[in-house]
Chains A and B, each alone.
Chain A
Amino acid sequence: MRRTRTRPALLIAATAGTAVVLAGCSASSDAALDPDADLSTQTLTVTTWPEYYPPTLAEDFEKATGVHVEILHHATNEEGLAKVTTSADTGIDVAFLSGGPVSVLIEEGLVSPLDHSALPNLANLYPEASEFAFDPGLVYSAPYAWGTTGICYRSDLVSGTPTSWADILTPAPEHVGRITMLDDLRWMFLPAQKLLGYSLNTTDDDELADVEKVLSAASRNLLAFDNTTYGDKLAAGEATLSEAFDGWCNVAAQSDPRIAFALPEEGSDLWVDSAVILSSSQNKEAAHAFIDYVLSTDVSTWITENLLYNTPNEKAMTQLPSDLFATYTALTADGARLASMEQIVDLGADVEKYNLISTRVRADQ
């Protein structure tokens, strides 16, 4: 199916030159949706994270709309970005990416504006879920799932509930060597930045120097920098307190009820995974229908019940059974609380400052 789409493009390129194709692309991205478009003649290629959607999503959507969907996977945001940016026509219509990469795509003009009239399910979202720093007013993106970062801990090995990022940065003696922090660059900085009251997106050299001091001291008390196996480390008791994404902590709590989640009072981040439509898509009507479909309460409740992630879908969140929230404490943060957290934005070339500090902190061992 991707082949049939590239063929006309090649034909035009051969006859009229590349400039015409580029002009044609930008013109089509601004064009309004055709309300009479026959969806059954369109096909979609979507890229998202593996196991991040209902297994029958493609079938269900085809049954409902007649549009055939091929779902591709990217393991990381970086891989997803590479997939939609490195080649001119990848044939991808819809991409699911986190807020930072989405802002990059918007700046680069690679995504096309959403027609809200074709997305009635946007009404399901929390009102706060339309004011994201990376895309205010949801001009280009529709939020799929969201969440925050906190402390995942062993409730039987830690006295009381952790309340502060200091609990992992300057741990009590009995927890020294039993702490893990996230290995992802910006999230490694988050606890120190919030403890010091700085922005998660600071590029101020003095502030970053303070953060480095806190991180260097904290890293000596760490078991490991880990963003994949901390759940196992907590279950084994090798770690007692871990900096963790809320959804991941829920997954750990699912297999071990002694594991719980706490959100430090200094605040944290808000991450958002959103869907965008690529400017190069020739199937914009079907792409809108697909995004509207994943914003339905059915898909959103599936995400929360099966992946244990919060979603910005207020209607879905209020329909979920209350015992789910009792078991998975990280699901209790409501939309307003989550939306009040700071969003991590792409820093462009300044991210090198973070990388240098992270390298120094880790190599200092």
Chain B
Amino acid sequence: MSSSAAAGATRARRSGLLTLISPAGYLGLFVAVPLLLVLVSAFLTRGRVGGVRLPISVDSFVLLAEPVYLGILLTSLATSLTVTLVCVVVAYAFVAAMRGMSPRGRAGLLVVLMVPFWTSFLIRAYAWMLLLGEHGPVNAPLLSLGVIEQPLTLLYTPASVTVVLVYVYLPMMILPIAAAAESVDPTLRDAARNLGAGAWRRFRTIDLPLTLPGCLTGCVLVLVPSMSNFVVPDLIGGGKTVLIGNVIQDEFLVSRNWPFGSVLALTLIALLVGVLVVQAAVSRRFEGHAR
């Protein structure tokens, strides 16, 4: 370990300037500049064919006061929190099931988990439309067995949006939790079992606190994109479920109101920064406890 650290230090010295410049340059080019553009656009006037122009204006912030946007923000927050919570529960169950497997089996399972990412997201969304459709593999057997007389309405509902968002982002939750679980000393669990702790108590006092940083990372990785996803509400929600991502997309592409789209994007960013602050605070508090 010390030799690799030494080698790393040499490498770092050799390309010291490069290592300093490349992350800063990357962040500057792909994070700071776009954010600055969004910030500036929010305070300008809409252009005729999209884009922005002078004069400086705060009209877009006034439009934000329309009650419908607050409602959509709350719906988006509720939906993404539900998605995150379901992902946490499923991911812990998944990781617990993995614990009983051989290392090879575990690695194989993680590969299988990533396989869907090899195909286009749109294709997977259309697959879900077939799956949940009136004649899909869920409804068809139930109908032919006479369990139901009318096909169940599974598609184009807020619930179907939540289910598909869980499907899409679940790997983002499983991977960090599985990584954190790898480093949990299995003898801790054995000791707890010997001392008479039940499964729930072992999870609560050993696995949960020791994997919490991984879990919180997963929560951010799921919450952030599910809050701004607009394809799933469009296709799976039948355009009848509106999340904040849809509104931002419409402002830029349909209304061509870039300033207001920017205001909505800033609102979303502010909300998500709030989530990150909470995540960081909880992580720090937990790490303090661990020491």
User: Are A348 and B239 within 8 A (Cβ)?
Assistant: no
Contact A351 B134 (CB under 8 A): no
- Contacting residues, chain A, for B48 (C-beta < 8 A): 104, 107-108, 348
Residues of A within 8 A of B239 (CB): 183, 224-226, 362
Chain A residues closer than 8 Å to B66, beta-carbon distance: 356
Closest Cβ of chain B: how far from A118's Cβ, in Å? 28
Give per-residue flags for B43-64: 1 if the beta carbon is below 8 A from chain A beta carbons, else 0.
Answer: 0001011110000000000010
Q: Which A residues touch B251, using CB under 8 A?
A: 355
Given contacts A355-B255, A363-B68, A363-B75, whether A185 and B238 have CB atoms under 8 Å apart is: no
Tell whether, in the assembled complex, residue B255 and residue A78 are in contact, meaning their CB atoms are under 8 Å apart: no
Given known A236-B135, A238-B133, contact A363–B238 (CB-CB < 8 A): no
Q: Which of B75, B133, B238 makes the CB contact (< 8 A) with A236?
A: B133
A4 CB-CB contact with B under 8 Å? no
Q: Contact at B253–A351, with CB atoms within 8 Å?
A: no
Contacts of B49 on A, CB cut-off 8 Å?
A: 81-82, 85, 101, 104-105, 108
- What is the CB-to-nearest-CB distance from B271 to chain A, in angstroms, rounded to a whole number? 17
B71-A363 in contact (CB<8A): yes
User: Which chain A residues lie closer than 8 Å to B260 at the CB level?
Assistant: 352
Shortest CB-to-CB span from B140 to chain A, Å, is 12
Residue of A with least CB distance to B237: A224
Interface hit among B77-85, B106-114, B201-209, B240-248: B240-248
Find out whether the CB atom of B240 lies under 8 angstroms from the CB atom of A224.
yes
Nearest chain A CB to B121 CB, angstrom units: 15
Residues in B whose Cβ lies below 8 Å from that of A358:
250
A158-194 CB contacts (< 8 Å) to partner B: 177, 183-185
The chain B residue sitting closest to A79, CB to CB, is: B253
Q: A78 contacts which chain B residues (CB < 8 A)?
A: 50, 253-254, 256
A177→B157 CA distance, assembly (Å)? 12
Across the interface, which residues of B come within 8 angstroms of A362, CB to CB? Answer: 239-242
A223 to chain B minimum Cβ distance, whole angstroms, is 6
In the complex, the answer to whether A351 meets B255 with C-beta atoms within 8 Å is yes
CB-defined interface of A217-230 with B at 8 Å, one 1/0 digit per residue? Answer: 00100111110010
Q: In the docked arrangement, what's the CA distance between A104 and B72, Å? A: 31
Interface size of B as a range: 35 or more
Q: In the complex, what residues of A have CB within 8 A of residue B238's CB? A: 222-226
Q: How far is the CA of A355 from the CA of B250 in the complex (A)?
A: 8
Asked whether B92 is an interface residue with its Cβ less than 8 Å from the other chain, the reply is no
A41: CB under 8 A from chain B?
no
Question: What number of A residues sit within 8 Å (CB to CB) of B?
Answer: 38
Minimum CB distance partner of A183 in chain B = B239
B257 touches A352 (CB 8 A): yes
A349 to B257, CA, bound (A): 8
Q: Contact between A359 and B68 (Cβ–Cβ < 8 Å)?
A: yes
Interchain CA distance A78-B133 in the complex, whole Å: 31
Alpha-carbon distance between A224 and B160 when the two chains are bound, in angstroms: 13
> For window 8-67 of chain B, which residues contact chain A by CB distance below 8 Å?
46, 48-51, 63, 66
In Å, the complex CA distance between A63 and B62 comes to 58
Q: A224 — nearest CB in chain B belongs to which residue?
A: B238
Q: Distance (Å) between the CB of B162 and the closest chain A CB?
A: 14
Question: Is A360's beta carbon under 8 Å from chain B?
Answer: yes
A237 at interface by CB-CB < 8 Å: yes
Complex Cα spacing A351 to B233, Å: 23
Q: Which of A185, A225, A236, A237 contacts B240 (CB 8 A)?
A: A225
Q: Is A76 in contact with chain B by the CB < 8 A criterion?
A: yes
Q: Which residue of chain B lies nearest to A107 when distances are taken between CB atoms in the complex?
A: B48
Chain A residues whose CB sits within 8 angstroms of the CB of B255 once the complex forms = 185, 351-352, 354-355
A86, B256: Cα distance in complex, Å: 13
Contacts of B158 on A, CB cut-off 8 Å?
Answer: 365
Give residues in A with beta carbon < 8 Å to B: 76, 78, 81-82, 85-86, 101, 104-105, 107-108, 177, 183-185, 219, 222-226, 229, 236-238, 348-349, 351-352, 354-356, 358-360, 362-363, 365
Known: A78-B256, A81-B50, A183-B239. 16 other contacts (CB 8 A): A78-B253, A82-B50, A85-B50, A85-B51, A104-B49, A177-B153, A185-B250, A219-B240, A224-B156, A226-B238, A236-B133, A236-B135, A349-B46, A355-B251, A359-B68, A363-B72
- Listed by A's residue number, 6 A-B pairs whose Cβ atoms lie within 8 Å are A222-B240, A238-B135, A355-B250, A356-B68, A359-B72, A363-B75
